[in-house]
Amino acid sequence: MSVDTPRRLVLLRHAKADWPQISDHERPLAERGRKDAPAAGRRLAESGITFDLAVCSTAARTRETWKLAVGELPQRPKTTYEERVYEASPGELIAVLNETPDDVADLLLIGHNPGMQGLAEILAGSAEGDAQTRLNRRGFPTSAMAMLTFTGSWKSLEPGVATLFDYWAPHE
């Protein structure tokens, strides 16, 4: 695959989590999250993107979100669970994405805020339609996703190189 290949990156924040008396990393989804995660999966399926790879935080709420969302996709992408995505800054997330093999055209990253919103804002040098306005207005609530495209290798992914072509949040 050429480095001139257009690539798509979708950032999905985990669904609404519960707050039981356990470690933050082990928090499960709340009832609303268990309803919103499949809706996010349906939105991913409607996008028509066939993901080559999904990179998911190791936190319980991201794993559970992905388990409920992936069931809505026509085919399951290869999935890796990456502990560095948990509590990662946008810069740390870019470092993880920079390690993606160049044969991956379309990648889904399932993670947490504030890193996911920060990453969407930092990567998007431009936006199509009202995607940026909606992101700015809504922020990045649970189950929200930002869809970006860029041209180049994953190693070349850096601030400002991508276009935000869609933004979705449940209950929008």
Please report which helix (H) or strand (E) contains residue 119, including its range.
helix 115-123
**What pLDDT is stored for residue 97 in this prediction?**
98
What size, in residues, is the chain? 172
Residue 40, CB-side half-sphere exposure with 13 Å CA sphere = 34
Instruction: List residues forming the annotated binding site.
Output: 61
Please report which helix (H) or strand (E) contains residue 136, including its range.
helix 131-138
**What pLDDT is stored for residue 3 in this prediction?**
62
Query: Which of left, alpha, beta for 160 (phi over 0: left; psi -120 to 50: alpha)?
Result: left
74-78's contacts with Cβ under 8 Å and 24+ in sequence apart are 74/45, 74/50, 75/50, 77/50, 77/51, 77/52, 77/53, 77/108, 78/52, 78/53, 78/54
The average pLDDT across 77-101 equals 97
Q: Give the number of other Cβ atoms within 10 Å of residue 20's Cβ.
A: 10
Token pair belonging to 172 = 């929008």
Q: Evaluate whether 111 touches 92 at the Cβ level (below 8 Å).
A: no
Give pLDDT tens digits for 1-36: 666 779 999 999 999 999 999 999 999 999 999 999
Q: Which domains does the chain have, with CATH numbers?
A: 6-168 (3.40.50.1240)
Instruction: List residues forming the annotated binding site for substrate.
Output: 61
- Percent pLDDT > 70 in the chain is 98
- Percent pLDDT > 90 in the chain is 92
